[in-house]
Amino acid sequence: MRVFIAITLSDQVREAMGYVIGDMKKSGARGRYTPVENMHLTLAFIGETEDIKEIGDALDQVTFQPFTITTDGFGHFGSLYWIGLEDQPALEALVRSVRKALSDAGIGFDRKSFKAHITVARKVESRQALRVRVPRVTMEVDSFSLMRSDRIKGRMKYRELAAWEARNESIQEKNGLPLWLESDRLVIRQITPEDKEDYLYGVSLASENKAAYQDKDLAEILWKDVLEDPDSISMVIYDKDGGQVLGSCSFDYWSGQNPEIGINVDPARHNQGLGTETVNRLKEAFRELRPGCRLLIRTRKTNLSCQKMIEKCGGRKLSEDSKSTREDLFSYLLLP
C-alpha cells in the first residue's frame, strides 16, 4: 500500500483552502484541484510498502508537545500550487524526529528537504497572474497520522491507519533522561543528527569555543565525537517564541552515574537571566526524573560570571581535589 505521514487539518484551515481555490478559479486557473477533505500537511512520504507494523513501532519513539501552525503565503513548485505556513520551530523539530525514527528503523522515505506547504492544486495552467487572498488561520497540532492513499474510480482517497498524540507537558524523557524541556522563555532539546548547524552555532557562542567550532574541519570532528560519545548527552537551547539558538548544554558521566552539566549561553544575553533559567530547569527535571540524583555542574575557573550564576542557583563548590573536577574547571553540587 502507498503511505505517508502527515498532519490532518482542522475544518477552519480546510475552509480557508476552499476560499483560495475559489480565487484561483475566478482568476481563470485550470488544473487538478485538491478536494478539501484530502488536504493535509505531509511530514514524510514513504510510498509503497507493507511494513506497517515496523513503521508504527518506529513512530512510537517520537515524542512532541502541542504547537500551532498558521497559514502564510501562496506559491508554487512548477505547476503545483500551495499555501505556505509561518515558520514554526516545533514543526521543524517534529519533522526531524519523525524522519530520524524512520531512518533509525531502516525505513525508506523521500529525503527531499522539508518545505512546509499545503497543496491546493496540481498541473495548473493560467494565462494571467493569479490574484489570491490567503486567509490567516491558526490551528493547534496535537497529533500526526500514518495515512494510506488509494485511487478509487479515478479519485484519490486518504485513510488514517494510526495516529500519535502529543504530550501536553513541559518535560519529555526517555530512560530517566530529558529529551525536551520547556521553561517560561526556553526550549531545551536533545540533539539529533539533523541539528548539526544549530548545535555547532550554539557551542561556538562561547568565546573559548569560537575558534575551534568556526574551523570547518575541526568542527566536523567535534560534531562526530558529540554524536558518538556514549558518556555524554548534548542539547540545544532555543528561544521559545522565536526559535533562535541561544546556546547549548550537555551532561556527562565523567564521575560514574552522576551527571555533570555544562552550559553555554549567548554572551549577548547574559544579563537576561537565561543561564539561570536553564540551570534551574535542568535541576527541576533531574529532581523529578532521578530522585536522589547527585547532580553536578562545571564551569571554567576563569569564568567568574558563570560561577556567580551557579551559586545563585544554589550550587555548592566542591573541593579542588574532587575526582570529578578537571584542572581547568570548578565543579559545583546542584543536587541533592
User: Is the per-residue pLDDT at 189 higher than 90?
Assistant: no
Question: Alpha-carbon distance 177 to 179, whole Å?
Answer: 7
Mean pLDDT across the chain: 84
Question: Alpha-carbon distance 55 to 107, whole Å?
Answer: 7
Lowest-confidence pick of 11-25, 43-57, 124-138, 285-299: 285-299
- What band does 173 get if pLDDT is binned at 50, 70 and 90? low
User: Is the per-residue pLDDT at 214 higher than 90?
Assistant: no
Question: Alpha-carbon distance 334 to 258, whole Å?
Answer: 11
Q: What is the DSSP letter of 327?
A: T
Lowest-confidence pick of 9-13, 76-80, 205-209: 205-209
Buried b (16+ CB within 10 A) or exposed e, 134-172: beebebebbebbbbbeeeeeeeeebeeeeebebeeeebb
Percent of all residues in the chain with a pLDDT value above 90, rounded to a whole number: 23
Domain ranges of the chain: 2-165, 171-335
Q: Are 333 and 315 in contact (CB under 8 A)?
A: yes
| 2-165 has CATH 3.90.1140.10 classification | yes
User: Is the per-residue pLDDT at 176 higher than 70?
Assistant: no
Pick the most confident of 154-163, 236-245, 297-306: 154-163
User: Is the per-residue pLDDT at 133 higher than 70?
Assistant: yes
C-alpha cell at 277: 533559567
Q: Give one DSSP letter per residue of 64-88, joined into a string.
A: ---EEEEEEEEEEETTEEEEEE---
Known catalytic residues? 40, 117
266-278, pLDDT tens digit by residue? Answer: 877 778 888 888 8
Determine the CATH number of domain 171-335: 3.40.630.30
Note the pLDDT of residue 321. Answer: 46
Query: Region 90-114: what's the mean pLDDT?
Result: 89
47-87, pLDDT tens digit by residue? Answer: 999 999 999 999 988 878 788 999 998 888 888 999 999 98
Note the pLDDT of residue 119. Answer: 92
